[in-house]
Structure 1
Amino acid sequence: MDFTTGGRLEVRITPADVGKRVSVRLLTGEPDPHMRFTDVVGVLTSWTGDVLCVTRRTGETVRIARSSLVAGKVVPAAPARRRGPAASARELDRVAARGWPAVESEPLGEWELRASGGFTRRANSVLALGDPGLPLDAALDRVTGWYAERGLPAYLQLSTGAEDTQELLAGELAARGWTKEVSAQVRIAGLAPVADRDADISAVALSRRIDDAWLARYQRSAAPSPEVRAVLSGGPSVWFATIGGAAGDETPAAIGRVVVDGRWAGFAAVEVAPERRRQGLAGAVMTALARTALDEGASAAYLQVETDNGGAHALYEGMGFTVHHSYHHWRAPHGDAR
């Protein structure tokens, strides 16, 4: 990583570069001369006084004292990865929002305020893509007021780690005392390889309608409300998969959901009874749903999985899903909850 001109380290970034992708080298304080420096690459999200913040593609923000900075430069945007279907983060975020639709929504400029009785942050947060049509502080006041009217905490959903994501807005929220509570990855894959897997799908039943048995296996809601049913059933073309439980047990051994939206098939709610895990049931559910989505004309697949869900990451990596970008839910300061 070249930071030098004529063999000398140089800091070639200034506060005017906020919002750009940068690479910086800083002193670590390590006494070992071989470990004295570390490099950070990401979006320069703020530079206030003697402290600058760089947000990595994972959403992690690194605070750097100006006194520790020994080199820095603006670097080109990260090259697009083509290990899966070509797509922008904004396209995927909008498709995913349609596939997990809120019960109530309202535009704020290009932002979308969403509420669903508190069922999942995805359906109870602002999809903050583009311009809210107001100065930021005024927009955030509108957001916190709107959610307070519904008895809900105010969240913004922001993406990081791809071209045209919201690292800069994340920095603005952090400076205003908002806190990042949950992070997840958006993973993508070609749909045909998922559908072509050698899986026994003979026990998988598919339906257009959600029923009480399916909901009994679903872990996101102990007592399904009308909002739960509305979100799960919403979307352009939704299918539910079920593998029955043992004889006499009405609760399914495994479930899953897919929503088809043009070329995209979005997978969600893939769950397996603890005593039936590692028996290939999740793979069978995914394969059956993928074949149905393929029949409807989809060619690409996406899913969203929380960063700390190691078991799910292993399953999806084995099926060819790669990370496209990350997203995070930022919560308003408690004093602003109104």
Structure 2
Amino acid sequence: MEISASGRLVVRITAADVGKRVSVRQRLDLPDTGGEFTDTVGVLTSWDDHGLVITRRDGEAVRIAESTLVAGKVVPSAPARRRGPSASYAELARVAARGWRPLESERLGEWELRAAAGFTRRANSVLPLGDPGRPLDDALTAVREWYAERGLPAYVQVATGGDGTEELLGAELAARGWVREVSAELWVGALAPVADRAEGAGVVLARAADAGWLARYQRKGVGEVALRVLGSGASVWFASVPGEGEVPAAIGRCVVDGRWAGFAAVEVDPGARRRGLATEVMAALALRALDEGASAGWLQVEADNVGARALYGRLGFAVHHAYHHYRFAGSDAGVAGSAGVAGSAGVAGSAGDGG
């Protein structure tokens, strides 16, 4: 903790340090604490009139009132490990879900029901990690009703190559009239080898997606809902490579969450392909993630996105598991299905962001 020459604790961080790894001490503003203090170490992800938010290595976001700060300083980033990542399906599924948050969610036992006005299936489907707390048929009825109330088709995201129970759920869904529509894969890889490819191609990093970034983004008609989903996550970065006009030649998105960095929306202007811009975007984002203490990367890509799969393979990523979206196609699907859900159009010659 930072201590001045006179022995007093001092705060040596400001809002300008957002994105850096910090250590802070705060006074507990609770009754009967007797003047106790608590320390927090992590990435300073925001600082506004409501206080500051520090995201710890495990992904937990800690909100701290500025008035309770008694000391704080920027600290060196934790050294990144150069070994390959290893993780269970459940860990990666939760990390991926935190990096692409819906506008609305509700728990059904250990299942999470997610909705975001139809922007991507990932943000508008059930993530079933465990027991729903009731018989399966009752749980699926509750799922269909929940999505029907929001004018959305009912989707359940199911993995293969996970912990084994996911495959069983897929079979149960199929037997009950649920249809598998979109499949994709989650790939993992070490960050350091990707960051080592950075050659300084003028990649610009920002905390928010500007008009130029959105103009290059593959999903058209991006509105407020999409912006909120894109901006969700523990520590989010948007990368751009300036083009000849206002629209960047290449873009990408990364969310840092503990030891993991998730990549998405890596896209290149068709006229600027084969110049290594997608690699430069990935490398710049990986370097930033390493600075924040991450060591492993994950990303999602559909099976038919040939260009993205080739790029990821060259960067050392490999398939961890596949996941699929099952849609209910029974008698009540017509009402719920009136609102289309944006899928994942694979980006030719670039890296998409899954379903």
**Structures share fold, TM-score greater than 0.5:** yes
Which residue, 263, 267, 289 being the options, matches 1:271?
267
1:300 to 289, 296, 302: 296
* RMSD value, Cα: 1.2
Deviations 1:268-326 (A, max 9, x none): 01011111111100000000000000000000110010111111000000000011110
Distance 2:318 2:147 in 1: 34
Distance 2:203 2:118 in 1: 31
Aligned residue type for 2:116? S
- Secondary structure, in 3 states, of the residue corresponding to 1:335? coil
AA in 1 matched with 2:119? F
Find 1:225's aligned residue among 223, 226, 241: 223
How far 1:163 moved relative to its partner? 2.9
Per the TM alignment, residue 128 of structure 1 is displaced from its structure 2 partner at its CA by: 1.0
1:262 aligns with: 258
Per-residue CA deviations over 1:137-162 (Å, capped at 9, x if unaligned) read 11111111111111111100011113
Alignment deviations for residues 150-200 of structure 1 (CA, whole Å, 9 cap, x no partner): 111110001111334500000000101111111111100011111112x43
**Matching of residue 102 in structure 1 with residue 102 in structure 2:** yes
1:195-274, aligned counterparts within 5 Å? 195-197=195-197, 199-220=198-219, 222-246=220-244, 249-274=245-270
Q: What's 1:138 paired with?
A: 138
* In 2: Cα distance, 1:292 partner to 1:155 partner: 34
Counterpart in 1 of 2:65? none
Q: Which runs of 5+ in 1 are unaligned?
A: 1-82
1:201 deviation in Å? 2.7
What is the match of residue 84 of structure 1?
84
Query: Which residue in the other structure is 1:9 paired with?
Result: none
| AA of the residue aligned to 2:213 | W
1:187 and 2:183 equivalent?
no
Structure 1 residue 202 displacement after superposition: 3.4
Residues 80-133 of structure 1: CA distance to partner in whole angstroms, max 9, x if unpaired?
xxx931100110000000001111111110000000010000000000110111
Q: List alignment gaps of at least 5 residues for structure 2.
A: 1-82, 336-355
Structure 2 distance, partners of 1:230, 1:89, is 26
Query: Secondary structure at the residue paired with 2:123?
Result: coil
Cα distance in 1 for residues equivalent to 2:190 and 2:95: 16
Contact 2:201 2:241 in 1 (8 A): no
Distance 1:163 1:135 in 2: 20
| 1:279–1:114 distance in 2 versus 1, CA, 3 Å | same
Q: Quick check: 1:84–1:322 contact (8 Å CA) kept in 2? A: no
